[in-house]
Amino acid sequence: MRKFFTVILVVGCLLLAGVPVDASPIGFVNSNIWISKTNPIAGDTTTLFAVLVNGSDDGLEGKVQFLDLLTNQNIGAVQSFTLSGGGTSNVMQATWRAVAGDHQFKAKITEAQSVDALGHKSAVASEILSESTGVITVRVDSDHDGLTDDQEAAHGTDPNNPDTDHDGLPDGQEVAHSTNPTNPDTDGDGDRDGTDPNPTNPNIFTPPDTDHDGKPDATDTDIDNDGLYNWDETGGVGKTVDINWSGDKPPKPTDPYKYDTDGDGVSDKLDYYPLDPDRSIRPPAPVVTPVVKASASVDKTTDGADDLVSSSNGSLADEFTTTTLEGEVLGEKIFNDLNQNDEGVGKIPWWRSLFGGWVYGLFGLWLLLLLLLLALRKRARPSDDDGNGEVAREE
């Protein structure tokens, strides 16, 4: 037995002889590397940490690099560090965006040098490695509902739909709260899990009130409070959806439980395209151009502005059309092209065109002669100078 213990002691001494004993640790502390999320999901941003320590009297400087051992990739950039002597430490970190699959991390110090009080540098080691993390498995959550795709398969939910049963609760929350993610009303009390204050107790029931206006949905004529009656949104019995959009009802059925069916920020009441998230404003009405037609007399010797006379069949009439104007309306006057051939529009009366201005000259001359004859006749009549009613005669 004594011989056996002697052999054990000799072997132990030989093994210890090959291990350097350093009372002043330099490098990483024990249990020195960890990750900010122990169960990251693909796409999550996480952080790796490692603690450096310098237990020597001299300073220590070098570089740190984080590694993924299973993918053989560097994590983040190489970082330089400097530690003064006397037992100082520093926390190094690197950001990592999680990728689906298995990963195992380690930190590595390279180009480590000790720096004495005079500034002299000497190499410490070519490479110092930290401990490794355990294997970390990153899973995928395609619909970001809190359940990974493999968990969705186990629960029978849709990995591409965050709320498989459309009850208002994401599948991940349903599993966490022990409700059925494939049954919209787990306790069968008539209230969907998303609005039920206790979705697992059928004796505790609050009638759903989607718009929180104090009226239960069962009696609320406008469940989402968007200004449209429920039947106008769905085209219910006795009601039809106005496909021409009168301004009171949408052109196609919308969701009476959603204030804004297409999620564009405009309520269904005000949204001209309530099912199109890319547009909501009603297109402008066609531009209507007024056309004014008139039959008028215009003095050919004037500019046509001050001599406009409406005839019995030439009253001004406005006709709305999309054609161009035949004349320019200015106040109450209308100016037309005097050379155009339209009947009754900006033309000289036929009788003035036929006789010309000399008719007016003859009429004036005739009137002047008539006045002269009347004056001569009055002067030629005998007068009653003595006022006895008898006209004196010359003998």
Going by C-alpha positions, the residue among 308, 296, 302, 300 that lies closest to residue 352 is 300
Rg, Å, the chain Cα set: 52
- In angstroms, rounded to a whole number, what is the distance separating the alpha carbons of residues 155 and 157? 6
Domain locations in the chain as residue ranges: 19-138, 289-354
Residue spans of beta strands (DSSP E) within 215-316? 289-293, 296-297, 309-310
Q: Are 165 and 158 in contact (CB under 8 A)?
A: no
- In angstroms, rounded to a whole number, what is the distance separating the alpha carbons of residues 303 and 319? 26
Q: For residue range 79-115, what is the model confidence (pLDDT) as tens digits?
A: 999 999 988 999 999 999 999 999 999 999 999 999 9
A 10 A CB-CB count for 95 gives 12
The pLDDT mean for the chain works out to 76
Residues of the chain falling short of pLDDT 50: 1-2, 4-23, 237-244, 296-298, 300-346, 394-395
- In angstroms, rounded to a whole number, what is the distance separating the alpha carbons of residues 254 and 234? 6
Element holding 336 (H helix, E strand): strand 333-336
Q: For residue range 295-353, what is the model confidence (pLDDT) as tens digits?
A: 544 454 444 444 444 444 444 444 444 444 444 443 333 444 444 444 444 455 555 55
Does the global pTM surpass 0.85? no
CATH fold, domain 19-138, is Immunoglobulin-like (2.60.40)
Q: Which pLDDT belongs to residue 68?
A: 96
Q: Which pLDDT belongs to residue 368?
A: 84
